[in-house]
Amino acid sequence: MVNKETNKMTNPTDGSQWNKRPSLLTSANNFGKIRLAMRTLGQWNTNPRFRENLICPIPTTAIPRAYVIKKNDLHQEVSRVDLEEVIKTECAHSLQNNRMANSNVNACRQPVCGNSFSINDANLHHNTLSPTLKNANMKQQQCSMKDPRMAVADTVMQNSVASFEYGKDDVYSSQSLWLTCSNESPSYTEEGTNSRGQSVENSEDNSHYDDDRTSGVDDGNKEYLYFIRTASQSQQLRLSRSSNSNGSYIKATTGESSDLPWFVEYCRMLERSPTHSDDGLEMSPFEPDSQSKRSSNHNWVYWSSVELITNGYSNGDPPSRRDGDNQDYRYSVRRSLQVAQLQQPRWSHSSSSSGLYRNDTEDEISELPWFVKFCRNLDSSPVSSDAIWGIICSTSSDSYGTAPEQTSVGLMSRSSGKVLPIETLSSTTVPELEMGDVIFKRNAANERIVLGEGVFGYVCLATLSDIDEDKEVVVKEFTDESTDIDEVLHEARILLHLEETNVVPKCFGVMPKQVEPSGVALVQECIGNGMTLQRLLRINPPAITHADWLDIAYQLAMGLDQIHKKFVLLNDIKIDNVLIDYGSQGLKVKFIDMGYATFKEPFIFDGPPEDMEPYVYLAPEVRQCGYTSTKSDVYSLGYVFHDMIRKVGCVRLSAVSELCKLRRPEDRPTTKTLIDLISVML
């Protein structure tokens, strides 16, 4: 639905238009992002307001006594001394109150399985808790305990307290994680209760915090302060603040500062996290020079830093559903080169948000919902996958928290630590065909045979002169002046990139258009005389049995799975963008129209959300101008199944279709699950 005259998307209902491509994404020049990040690093150093925002202005009254760090101190950066003070205080308390030094964090790393985890187990050692944690623990018990993570959370706290030791040589000998929530009570409750376990009837009083839902609706001001103290002599500080709010929740949740579910997940993952494990991101190619070493027994020596610039796309869930414009995420992992003095501040930043919330979120610093996902799906996160846009590597001789003195910019391979070029498809060569390479097929009236048309122009049947004459191709000619050649090339490159999947038409290249105005036309393999799934469903030929329809569904799921494995999102799956070839070799399914497809990045339709509503086949988060994702493609595929049910009564697909169309992306099945589900019906 792209009007090539204006290169805008057209709303099918009122004809209004909006930009086809999201301005931020198309202009998302990676180096621009890197520059932005560098500028921000500069601000970190010089701009007190920036620091103030970053350093979590939690009212000190909300921080449990043992963890109070004065706001002023925070503003001057949390120094090692501050942290050590906190640790000492806590350790002293811990040692006084318990002797369970052998506990470790295994409990918190156990997979959470159903509701079978018994909170009572975790409560066995209740007496070993510090008053703060005891208090929190008791409050937790008052909350709904349906979520097993609560139980695990409880265990994390207990084990942490129990096993943390402060050794005589200033060595933290614990192998445990230490958890501090700055909130007086970590809260996680089921919908309908608030953090005190009271039932909540209207959203105004809904002060509970649900990490999952928050990933879709950032339902209030939340401020977070976490300390993670890990194995010998490492410390990690995470500060995160989210000021994004959703109207009625602002009041209710101001000051809420815990995110226990997130934290638990984080702890469970820590072993594999880039901040902790060796196969993470510690491999900066930039060796700090010897000048920068500041050697002393217990002071920081130097650290190198790796900063990830990503759009959040991780071949999985979107960063968040409602906060559509938030695209700048920065993750800084600083790793000391002297292991014994390791410290890792970590922050994330998202710089803008969509429509309604823009004013509220101008200064938004963290993107916690995304971070929740990040931690949960660490294996598939940008940090550990190939979906990395850019990395800033820097070294500094300075101690914790200050901006790097030397900064270098480059992309870095996760495994080799080598600087890499930014990965896009732009280097894929698209073959150029000459006019004479293509012979248009003509009808009895000597007119070109048009297989399909759209606002873009025509799709004509042809053959290529240098290949088997019977092998038909189609020439997609973009007939309006505003055709952006880059977009045609993008479509060609996506097709070429996906060629080996065999679920898209083969792309033969581009050629000069034969119709005015000049430009390029896309030449691709002709599939089944242009029979779309939409037309096939309308005709519903008797020869196509229910088993055939299921086979089509299966092929679609398989195809999408392969496409996603090639880091491509289709972003526009619908029944008229699926071609069916039912020739001698049986039914073959192909996806067409790569106009919105993206490689290693999501897409945002940047029209006003209300204008997106008619596009019912797009996932709700996409219609609300959030990022597309593998799960939004799954949603659209579910809508294709929905159409198959409606039009040809393929009711066996009902459950699968409903699953795909679940509101929350994280609840939708993966393509792999889809394949499994459909294959049992075949």
- The residues that touch ligand ATP, with contacts defined as CB under 6 A, are 1-2, 451-452, 454-456, 459, 474, 476, 505, 524-527, 530, 532, 576-577, 579, 592-593, 595
Q: Report the candidate in 567, 555, 557 with the shortest Cα–Cα distance to residue 497.
A: 567
Q: 102 or 584: whose CB is closer to ligand ATP?
A: 584
Please tell me the distance from the alpha carbon of residue 435 to that of residue 424, in angstroms, as a whole number.
29
Nearer Cβ to ligand ATP (354/577): 577
Which CB sits closer to ligand ATP, 592 or 625? 592
Q: What gap in Å lies between CA 571 and CA 554, rounded to an integer? A: 19
Cα dist. 171→22, 66, 156, 177, 270 in Å?
A: 52, 20, 21, 15, 20
Q: What CA–CA distance (Å, rounded) separates 280 from 271?
A: 10
- Return the ∠ at Cα 58 (arms to 348 and 205), rounded to 5°: 95
Q: Least separation, in Å, of the C-beta of 512 and ligand ATP? A: 19
Instruction: Write the CB contacts of 277 (distance below 8 Å, at least 6 apart in sequence).
Output: 271
587 bridge partner residues? 582
| Rounded to 5°, angle at Cα 567 from 558 and 242 | 115
CA atoms within 13 A on the CB side of 166: 15
Q: How far is the CB of 475 from ligand ATP (least distance, A)?
A: 10
Closest CB to ligand ATP among residues 20, 322: 20
51 or 441, CB closer to ligand ATP? 441
Smallest gap from Cβ 483 to ligand ATP, in A, equals: 11
Min. distance of Cβ 661 from ligand ATP in angstroms?
A: 22
Residues 6+ apart with CB under 8 A from 373: 215, 314, 316, 317, 319, 381, 666
How near is the Cβ of 32 to ligand ATP at its closest, in Å?
A: 29
- Which residues contact residue 99 at a Cβ distance below 8 angstroms, ignoring those fewer than 6 apart? none
Residue type, position 255, single letter:
G
Helices of type H across 337-434 = 368-376
Find the shortest distance in angstroms from Cβ 574 to ligand ATP. Answer: 9
* Residue nearer to ligand ATP on the CB measure, 220 or 505: 505
Q: Least distance from C-beta 628 to ligand ATP, angstroms?
A: 17
Burial of 395 (0-12, 13-18, 19+ CB in 10 A): buried
| Rounded distance between C-alpha atoms, residue 100 and residue 357, angstroms | 48
The least CB distance from residue 446 to ligand ATP, in Å, is 21
Max Cα-Cα span within the chain: 97
Cβ distance to ligand ATP smaller for residue 424 or 529:
529
d(CA 518, CA 514): 7
Q: Which two tokens stand for residue 40?
A: 């921000």
Q: How far is the CB of 424 from ligand ATP (least distance, A)?
A: 22
Question: What's the min distance (Å) between Cβ of 467 and ligand ATP?
Answer: 15
Return the number of the residue (326 or 463) whose C-beta is nearest ligand ATP: 463
Nearer to ligand ATP by Cβ, of 324 and 505: the residue is 505
Q: Which is nearer to ligand ATP, 108 or 580 (CB)?
A: 580
Peptide bond before residue 345 is cis, with ω within 30 degrees of 0: no
Contacts of 251 (CB under 8 A, 6+ apart): 204
- Give the SS3 label for residue 274: coil
Q: How near is the Cβ of 28 to ligand ATP at its closest, in Å?
A: 23
CB of 507 to ligand ATP, least distance (A): 9
Stretch (H or E) spanning 512: strand 507-512
406 vs 562 by CB, closer to ligand ATP: 562
Q: How far is the CB of 455 from ligand ATP (least distance, A)?
A: 5
Q: What is the DSSP string of 442-457?
A: B-TTSPBPEEEEETTE
Q: How far is the CB of 516 from ligand ATP (least distance, A)?
A: 20
- Describe the chain by its helix, strand, coil percentages, rounded to 5: 35, 20, 45
Place of tokens 């037309």: 535
Nearer to ligand ATP among residue 9 and residue 391 (C-beta): 9
Task: Give the span between the Cα atoms of 402 and 42, in whole angstroms.
Answer: 10
C-beta of 387 vs 504, nearer to ligand ATP: 504
d(CA 441, CA 431) in angstroms, rounded, equals 22
Q: Which is nearer to ligand ATP, 371 or 478 (CB)?
A: 478
